[in-house]
């Protein structure tokens, strides 16, 4: 049975994410059943069912990540173009024993009281000095502003800064292509 444009868009998005996550891990991502998709509905895509995956490199690490997104329709000349609109991302580096290190998070549309709607970073307790002079008990709860961070940038950070061993030989090309696409659709942010 031929795929609908909506199914094709979601399939392409998930394959793209799998390719980027695949620079770090062989774990699969999971996404929504393609038979019951609707425009405007929020779906999630999660690496390894949102359980951490182990990353090999200079120092063992664990990584978790996922996105929520919807497919929207936008006018494009005389046609209607389907686009992926990310409504949440969450990427976390941790120690293999579970101690959390860094969490990148963005929920632009949440409206519950106290919910931060700007993209932010949590520096987690495993990298903080519990006897430090500044907010030692609560620093990990601070929402440190970051600007939107692409999954490709997270993966590049893991490889180039944290010393994670990339799996495919063409990891840099994959990330360059993904990063270019990310900024192409966010020119106003790129020029800030």
- Give the C-alpha separation, 92 to 62, whole Å: 8
Closer Cβ to another protein, 11 or 76, answer by number: 11
- Give the C-alpha separation, 55 to 62, whole Å: 6
Q: Is 34 an interacting residue with respect to another protein (CB under 8 A)?
A: yes
- Give the C-alpha separation, 188 to 141, whole Å: 29
**Beta carbon of residue 163, minimum distance to another protein (angstroms, whole number):** 5
Residue in 167, 177, 179, 182 binding another protein, rule: CB under 8 A: 167
**How far lies 56's CA from each of 60, 96, 167, in Å?**
5, 11, 10
CB-based contact 124:142 (threshold 8 Å): no
**Beta carbon of residue 79, minimum distance to another protein (angstroms, whole number):** 26
DSSP letter, residue 58: S
Q: Helix (H, G, I), strand (E, B), or coil: what is residue 55?
A: strand
Q: How many CB atoms lie within 10 A of CB 137?
A: 10
Closer Cβ to another protein, 26 or 192, answer by number: 26
**Beta carbon of residue 1, minimum distance to another protein (angstroms, whole number):** 15
**Which span (13-21, 73-81, 175-183, 184-192) binds another protein, by CB under 8 A?**
13-21
- Give the C-alpha separation, 111 to 113, whole Å: 6
Q: Is 68 an interacting residue with respect to another protein (CB under 8 A)?
A: yes
Q: Helix (H, G, I), strand (E, B), or coil: what is residue 150?
A: coil
Closer Cβ to another protein, 50 or 76, answer by number: 50
- Give the C-alpha separation, 175 to 190, whole Å: 17
**Which span (55-63, 78-86, 144-152, 182-190) binds another protein, by CB under 8 A?**
55-63
**Which span (35-43, 71-79, 129-137, 183-191) binds another protein, by CB under 8 A?**
35-43
Closer Cβ to another protein, 127 or 167, answer by number: 167
Note the residues at the interface with another protein (CB under 8 A): 11, 14-15, 17-19, 22, 26-34, 36, 38, 41-46, 49-51, 56-58, 64, 66, 68, 88, 90, 92, 100, 103, 105, 107, 112-115, 124, 141, 159-160, 163, 165-169
């Amino acid at each position: 049975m031929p795929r609908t444009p909506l199914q094709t868009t979601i399939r392409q998005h998930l394959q793209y994410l799998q390719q980027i996550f695949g620079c770090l891990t062989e774990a699969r991502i999971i996404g929504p059943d393609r038979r019951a998709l609707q425009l405007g509905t929020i779906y999630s895509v999660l690496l390894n069912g949102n359980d951490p995956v182990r990353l090999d490199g200079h120092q063992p690490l664990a990584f978790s990540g996922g996105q929520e997104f919807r497919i929207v329709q936008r006018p494009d000349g005389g046609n209607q173009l389907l686009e992926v609109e990310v409504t949440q991302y969450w990427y976390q580096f941790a120690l293999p024993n579970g101690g959390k290190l860094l969490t990148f998070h963005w929920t632009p549309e949440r409206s519950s009281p106290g919910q931060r709607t700007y993209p932010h970073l949590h520096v987690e307790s495993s990298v903080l000095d519990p006897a430090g002079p500044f907010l030692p008990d609560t620093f990990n709860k601070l929402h440190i502003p970051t600007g939107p961070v692409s999954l490709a940038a997270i993966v590049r950070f893991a490889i180039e800064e944290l010393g994670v061993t990339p799996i495919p030989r063409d990891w840099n090309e994959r990330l360059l292509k993904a990063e270019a696409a990310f900024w192409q659709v966010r020119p106003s942010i790129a020029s800030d």
